[in-house]
């Protein structure tokens, strides 16, 4: 079972850059997409079915052209959960979960903290999300949460930790939260298999950052502890260039 997560920074723009051909070649069983910036009525949904994904689900922000997540699957899910049922979280379309026989997978797009107001929104969202997941794990212990967390965990996950210590995405309070999230029973699957530096999933469009590999690792496939022994591989795919992010992924065996 190969699962990929990808913040595409606009699904329509990504398609114009060859996303669908890349998807066919990468051939995941499931792909979690963040920041689609689209409502499904704005898309040619037949494209996804033609490329091998008959089951596709979209949870969009109330505001058009903003945020929004999706999951495309080759396998029919048993259940699809749109959002969290927490009104203050769901209006921006940031959580979508598919339940299968052996596990559940969520596409997550945590807010960024681009200014004081948004940072406060992000911190509140993170607190509510932790509570939501604490309860969800009681019902669904085998849980994979894939997406853009908008947080670097450790210094190894960012190209210039000293310079960025006061930048949202690497603030002490954000780093502490994601550390506590892992301690609550989740595995950073990429670090589970790979301890090497200079592995990133997002690069600024400025200053030729991607070509110089001056990036941040803010995208994760977090696996709940009960599926630790099902983890077979985790990876980052920096050669895919349809976005300012690149895809990440994990392989599971049940």
State the catalytic residue, choosing from 29, 99, 148, 219.
148
Tell me if residue 58 falls in helix, strand or coil: strand
CA atoms within 13 A on the CB side of 173: 11
What's the CA gap between 49 and 1, in Å, rounded?
19
What's the CA gap between 4 and 243, in Å, rounded?
15
What's the CA gap between 188 and 181, in Å, rounded?
10
What's the CA gap between 135 and 133, in Å, rounded?
5
Please list, residue by residue across 75-112, b when 16 or more beta carbons sit within 10 angstroms of its beta carbon and e when fewer do: eebeeebebbeeeebbebbbbbbbbbeebbbbbbbbbb
Residues 6+ apart with CB under 8 A from 26: 4, 237, 240, 247
21 is a catalytic site residue? no
Alpha-helical regions (H) of 17-101:
19-26, 46-50, 87-90
Which residue, 123, 148, 102, is CA-closest to 245? 148
What's the CA gap between 156 and 215, in Å, rounded?
11
Q: How far is CA 74 from CA 48, 79, 123, in A?
A: 10, 14, 35
Catalytic residues: 148
């Amino acid at each position: 079972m190969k699962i990929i997560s990808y913040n595409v920074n606009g699904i329509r723009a990504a398609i114009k850059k060859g996303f669908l051909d890349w998807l066919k070649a990468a051939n995941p069983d499931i792909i979690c997409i963040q920041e689609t910036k689209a409502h499904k009525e704005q898309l040619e949904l037949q494209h996804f079915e033609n490329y091998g994904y008959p089951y596709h689900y979209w949870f969009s922000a109330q505001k058009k052209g903003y945020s929004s997540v999706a999951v495309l699957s080759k396998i029919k899910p048993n259940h699809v959960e749109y959002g969290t049922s927490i009104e203050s979280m769901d209006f921006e379309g940031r959580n979508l979960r598919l339940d299968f026989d052996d596990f559940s997978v969520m596409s997550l797009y945590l807010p960024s903290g681009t200014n004081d107001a948004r940072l406060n929104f992000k911190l509140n969202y993170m607190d509510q999300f932790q509570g939501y997941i604490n309860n969800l794990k009681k019902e669904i212990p085998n849980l994979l949460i894939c997406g853009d967390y908008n947080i670097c965990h450790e210094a190894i996950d960012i190209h210039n930790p000293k310079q960025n210590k006061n930048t949202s995405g690497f603030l002490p309070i954000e780093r502490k939260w994601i550390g506590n999230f892992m301690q609550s029973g989740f595995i950073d699957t990429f670090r589970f298999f790979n301890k090497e530096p200079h592995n990133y999933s997002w690069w600024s469009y400025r200053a030729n950052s991607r070509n110089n590999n001056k990036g941040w690792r803010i995208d994760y496939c977090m696996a709940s502890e009960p599926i630790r022994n099902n983890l077979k591989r985790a990876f980052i795919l920096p050669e895919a260039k349809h976005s300012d992010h690149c895809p990440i992924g994990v392989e599971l065996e049940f």
